[in-house]
Amino acid sequence: LAKTTQPISMDSYEGQEVNITCSHNNIATNDYITWYQQFPSQGPRFIIQGYKTKVTNEVASLFIPADRKSSTLSLPRVSLSDTAVYYCLVGDNYNNAGNMLTFGGGTRLMVKP
Amino acid sequence: AAGVIQSPRHLIKEKRETATLKCYPIPRHDTVYWYQQGPGQDPQFLISFYEKMQSDKGSIPDRFSAQQFSDYHSELNMSSLELGDSALYFCASRQGAGGTDTQYFGPGTRLTVL
């Protein structure tokens, strides 16, 4: 499994755009990049997933450069309720019989008023 | 939309007792994963099942066992409980065959061992 590296923590203010970058230098050809959000004492929640270039949904955008060795999760106009831990995960999504998630060192985002 | 259901939500046990955690996946999801999250730690994968067969095993102690039943619900059985087993236990489900690869997590069971 590809190892990921993210900042341990980030601070932001309400209304700002937040970008969290994840490094995954040994990403494999079949690997996808997935981001989860976790609030205290709650299960992780899927945010967005991508393979290359840019993906956007109603919650966030995911930017992936051509070499795929990093990715950036972009949260537009954050609010206090976006305060959470954000995990970047990399793995092969075509293995029907496995595909466990390896969480490692997420980014603790603190949004201030 | 239906979500993953876990029961009980909270459980308090004494050392050396046993505990059973239950997970009901999203309808039509055939793959179930169990994760353990200790205080201040990241979720750690324990075990997974696909079509009622164990598919992967992570850092699950020998004191723990799990299975997936014909209706796809899963149970995590924990015996000889230790203080260090106190944690949040999450179940996640996924549609393994022909579906998306996204895992959907349940609300978790908070186990406290006294």
**Does residue B63 surpass a pLDDT of 80?**
yes
The more confident residue out of B97 and A28 is: A28
Q: What angle do CA A32, A38, B94 make, to 5 degrees?
A: 50
**Does residue A97 surpass a pLDDT of 60?**
no
CB contact under 8 A, A44 and B110: no
Residue A96 confidence (pLDDT): 44
| For range A62-80, the mean pLDDT | 96
Q: Which two tokens stand for residue A35?
A: 């981001």
CB contact under 8 A, B103 and A101: yes
Q: Which residue of B has its CA nearest to A48?
A: B102
Q: Which residues of B touch A45 (CB under 8 A)?
A: 105
Residue A91 confidence (pLDDT): 79
What would the pLDDT profile of B4-59 be if each residue is shown by its tens digit?
999 999 999 999 999 999 999 999 899 999 999 999 999 999 999 999 999 889 98
Share of chain B above pLDDT 90, in %: 82
